[in-house]
Amino acid sequence: MSKLVIVESPAKAKNIKGYLGKGYEVIASMGHVRDLPAARLSVDIEHNFEPKYAVIKGKEALVDELKTKAHKADCVYLATDPDREGEAISWHLANLLGLELDDKNRVTFNEITKTGVKNGMEHPRQIDIDLVNAQQARRILDRLIGYKLSPFVSQKIRRGLSAGRVQSVALRLVVDRENEIRAFKPEEYWTIDAKFTNPPDRKSFAATMVQDKDGNKVGTDKNKIPSKEESDKMLADLENAEYVVTGVKKGTRKKNPAPPFITSTLQQEASRRLSFQARRTMKAAQELYEGVDVKDLGTVGLITYMRTDSLRISDEARSAGNDFIKQTYGEKYLPSTPRFYKTRGNAQDGHEAIRPSMPGVTPESVKESLTSDQYKIYKLVWERFIASLMASCQQETMKVEITANDYVFTASGYTVKFDGFTALYEEKTDDAQKKDSESPLPPVAEGDVLKLKSILGNQHFTQPPARYTEASLTKALEENGVGRPSTYVTITSTILSKEYVVREGKQFVPTELGEAVTNLLKERIPNIVNVKYTSKMEDDLDK
């Protein structure tokens, strides 16, 4: 029997062919083959919003080739990507090739490995028409909004402009943030910071005033030290004061690893750690998923499907990861009970989190077979996944209270009792203030009189909210339920290419044009640029 397997990309076709062997022909559709023609609306508003699809320009020869091969084959399998768009591509192919929609001819591969391909081929199913209809609804709605809004924006502002359901919401977030920054009025405040030693220990440690001599808290939002005069008055009160330890509180705390990556968190972490733009991250991830030629392993997909918002991982992957941890770090680096991560409520749980397809294959062992970008992304995915299975980091904490002339200072520190997952990997954060500024404190006990090394009043100003970066905008879109893993890259690249937004360093700054478009849409068609409307629509599509 001759069997035809249709996938989306040529790289994937070549690798899957290697696993399937004789009797199979594998060919790529090169993404979508049929769509709403661009020259007209292509949606019949009068008749139940019927879409009018046509073969994409330039793909006629490819479609003819697919038809010929499908006609000759005894069996056709549709193996497009395992997501909403992939399901729709399979449906369009079935319609073009005259395949029965009731046939079990749809296969999906969560990973392009021998096991992943074998599992996929062993479990063919019917095309999921609900998933297809969700994609059609999204496509039709995007077309209606784009085609009705774009001429309106062009007419009111400048010819050739476009607007869209998701891009307009993303642009609004950037513009609203810029308006917040403009409206922000910085406020001056002061802190009083001291450094002490506890003789005979020479190691100094930092402490900050938290309470004035009248018992009022200092440093909270409501009770900041407002001026230099106030700060100087306090410093004068403390001249020649004796600094006595009046409290020592010891405790332990657990630090847990971050979950394995989903599309948005991979893009964010690659931006923070590697300064990769999302497009660059996804290009390397796509190559790693579709398969690379690895020395001693042959051509193999090194990671699972990279467009996902699910945190689920398979039992086999968990078991392989645990085996690696046990062999490399020892039994104590595994948690006493396995750790499971909860996927967000509105996620499509179609497949797993992004993880190495073979957890035992370390980044170093494949480094010479990968490009620089592929290696960096594989290392990130691999470390994050292995760390997510590891035991928590155990820390011993210490908080010291120091009193002088009724003023109270505190110092905090910690020591690592057991490094756990941090032996391998720790997540980066956008917020500099969240980074641990604590360091281990020297031994101190209640009643100890400390030696003052320095005491200063330090001037600060409240800071406006930060502009969005590609990473933080992706995070905001995800948190607000706007867009899907497959669309984050397109959203940011669209608002940049339309010159609605420019990059300054890593930050997104709206242009005058971007602000004009947002203001017009907010004024005339507010629900289209309403974050909640777009989020509800995504929920409805999922339902």
Active site amino acids? 305
| 203, amino acid identity | K
| Concatenated DSSP letters of 337-394 | S----PPPTT---SSPPB-BSSTTS-HHHHGGGS-HHHHHHHHHHHHHHHHHTSPPEE
Give 62-88 as a 3 state SS string: HHHHHHHHHHHCCEEEECCCCCHHHHH
Burial class (CB in 10 A: 0-12, 13-18, 19+), 542: middle
Q: Is 10 helix (H, G, I), strand (E, B) or coil?
A: helix
> Do the beta carbons of residue 357 and residue 116 sit within 8 Å?
yes
Residue 176's alpha-carbon distances to 187, 264, 531, in angstroms, are 21, 22, 12
How many Å apart are CA 285 and CA 198, to the nearest integer?
A: 52
Q: Both tokens of residue 17?
A: 């062919």
Quote helix, strand, coil % in the chain, to nearest 5. Answer: 40, 20, 35
What residues does 300 pair with on adjacent strands? 292
Instruction: Please give the radius of gyration of the chain, using alpha carbons only, rounded to the nearest integer.
Output: 29
CA 430: distance to chain centroid? 12
